[in-house]
Amino acid sequence: MTAAAADATPTSEELAALSELVFESRDVATVLGAAAATVPRLGPCETEATYRCIDESWQWSPRGQDERADLDQLIADCGGNGAVEIPGRAWAWAFPLRHQGAVEGTLVVSAANVPSSGHIQLLVMLANQTGAALGCVALQHRNKRCTEELAKATTELLGTRQRLRSRSHVHQTIEAALSGGDGEQAITDALHELTKLPIALEDPFGNLRCWSGPGRPAAYLKPDRRLRQRQIAVLAASPAPMRMKDRIAVLLSPRGESLGVLAIVDPHKQVTEDDIFALHFACTLLGYELAHQRSLVEFEQGVRQELVDDLLTGTGSYGTIARAEALAHDLQAPHWVVVVHSSAAFSAVTAAAARCAEALRLNILQGRNGRLVVLLAAGRPDPQALHRRLSELLGPATCAIGIGSRCEAPSDFPQSFAEAQRALNVRLHSAAPEGASAYDELGFYRLIDAAHARGTVEDFVLEWLGALLKYDSAKKSELVLTLSRHLETGGNYDESAKALHIHRSTLRYRLARISELTGYDLRDVNTRFNLHAATRSWRFLYQESAR
């Protein structure tokens, strides 16, 4: 700092002005404004500007002063401490405003003449007081922030403790329901108890498995297959439960396989965060419960399938009765083998067959053989009732059933299975392929089967259809099939053409060609009888092998 031009002693008024300065404000702008207003009272000086130092950047304060870019650069160059050049002023100085070694800002003062050392000392004291005041303001702000943060942290801690208590209660309630041994219904009941809202558990196809709480619908509406697939895909892509119309739903998929959907029914949007947590936790435990149940079912199905295979092939007669007893099935009662063929997916046919047997109160062992579902039924099922119920469960899919003869002992199952397959084959190749046929009701076809066993039916077929079979093989035509369809309809041209999906004139041409190749008069009663028997035998024998 340059030497003072005159070593004048500060007056009593100037000293009083400094001593009277009290910084009671908690506002930075007010503190700096008071310091700036005090400068002229301490001697022949003026305040040029006051700055705040924030993150090593110098900012005018308070805002609203006539900011000067030239002065900003000077303060930045000198770091807010030292001489500055101001046009028209003989002397100018930036006094740093320090507090505990940290620079809080700077006070820029100028004079027409160099002030005395005493006046400069007063300005230094003013800067120190201002710096201390700014430090107090900063400390007060920090204390306020700390108080606010402490209050916030305390509130959050209380909320966290409450959530922990609530979630601990959720864990205890749902785990107790699971350990009670009542399975999925107990878990949905526990979730209803926690949320006070209705709970629905659906299988992957949209069928209701469990409902807990009020408002259970009398008829549970199941979405169509494509809509259900889209719903499952959306839920699978969501990491958390999501709203779907009037429900908050979550997918049960503990192993990546969709086992069902668990939902809180919430039409009035009453669900809380704790309810969502309870739903998510119930979903986790319920998913593992269903996966465990499925594993047990799959194991039991494997044991059942092995037993059914042994019974159908006759290779495991030793111990089969005891093995069946372990599966709660009595093999010592009369049984009938039932085979089911359908256009539906095999898993759907398997599930429908089990539900059908339950509805008809049939005690069965269920298995499979290729594309056929096999039921070993204790007691003869009603063919028509069985087909009707199964068709209802399968919807638009086609369904055909074959039933074998009575089994008095496990050794009879292979024969009954073969007869059930023949009955099914007759049904599939009849004029009405959808339905049920029992081997003991086949009538004429049993004669064919017996003749086939003796090797005579093939000669009969070749005797009456040999020329047509040879022609079909050479020309890739369907004369034998045309004749069979025509005879099955009783010689009705319209029905025959419709069944063959050809024009009536095409049918007439084919029948004329058949008469020409065979030399038979299709109007002759005996000829028609033998041809009808031959075509039925052909369908029974040759189309069975093709299938």
Per-residue pLDDT for 546 more than 60? Answer: no
Q: Report pLDDT for 8.
A: 63
Domain 11-143 has CATH 3.40.50.720: no
Per-residue pLDDT for 372 more than 90? Answer: yes
Q: Report pLDDT for 134.
A: 87
* pTM, entire model: 0.44
Per-residue pLDDT for 93 more than 60? Answer: yes
Q: Report pLDDT for 547.
A: 40
**What CA–CA distance (Å, rounded) separates 540 from 402?**
14
For the domain made up of 451-543, give the CATH fold: Arc Repressor Mutant, subunit A (1.10.10)
Q: Could you tell me which residue, 21 or 200, shows the higher pLDDT?
A: 200
| DSSP-H helix ranges across 377-500 | 383-394, 413-428, 444-454, 457-475, 479-488, 493-500
Radius of gyration for the alpha carbons in the chain, expressed in angstroms and rounded: 49
Q: Report pLDDT for 123.
A: 92
Give tens-digit pLDDT for 103-161: 889 999 999 999 998 899 989 999 998 888 888 888 888 899 999 999 999 999 998 89
**What CA–CA distance (Å, rounded) separates 316 from 307?**
8
| Domain range list for the chain | 11-143, 181-293, 315-442, 451-543
Among left, alpha and beta (phi > 0; psi -120 to 50; other), residue 85 is beta
What average pLDDT does range 442-471 have in this prediction? 73
Give tens-digit pLDDT for 382-437: 999 999 999 999 988 889 999 999 999 888 999 999 899 988 887 886 667 898 98
Per-residue pLDDT for 3 more than 50? Answer: no
Q: Which residues contact 39 (CB under 8 A, 6 or more apart)?
A: 45, 46, 47, 107, 109, 123, 126
Q: Report pLDDT for 382.
A: 92
Cα angle 55, 61, 66; round to 5: 125
What average pLDDT does range 5-22 have in this prediction? 64
What percentage of the chain exceeds 90 in pLDDT? 37
Answer yes or no: same fold for 315-442 and 451-543.
Answer: no
Q: In what order do the strands lie in the sheet with 260-265?
A: 208-212, 199-202, 260-265, 247-252, 242-244
Q: Report pLDDT for 21.
A: 65
DSSP letter string over 351-398? Answer: HHHHHHHHHTT-EEEEEEETTEEEEEEES---HHHHHHHHHHHHTTS-
362 within 8 A of 388, measured Cβ to Cβ: no
**Best CA proximity match to 258, nearest among 240, 277, 282, 233:** 233
Q: Report pLDDT for 523.
A: 87
Cα angle 503, 507, 511; round to 5: 170
Per-residue pLDDT for 18 more than 60? Answer: yes
318 CB-contact burial (10 Å; exposed 0-12 / middle 13-18 / buried 19+)? exposed
Query: 223 preceded by cis ω (within 30°)?
Result: no
Per-residue pLDDT for 545 more than 50? Answer: no
Per-residue pLDDT for 450 more than 60? Answer: no
Q: Report pLDDT for 522.
A: 87
Which CATH architecture best describes the domain 181-293? 2-Layer Sandwich (3.30)
Q: CB atoms < 10 A from the CB of 9, how many?
A: 11
Per-residue pLDDT for 25 more than 70? Answer: no
Backbone angles phi, psi at 130, to 5 degrees: -65, -40
Question: Mean pLDDT in the chain?
Answer: 85
* DSSP type of residue 10: P
What's the token pair of residue 131? 């710096």
Q: In what order do the strands lie in the sheet with 363-369?
A: 363-369, 372-378, 335-342, 399-407, 435-438
- Which CATH superfamily includes the segment(s) 315-442? ACT domain (3.30.70.260)
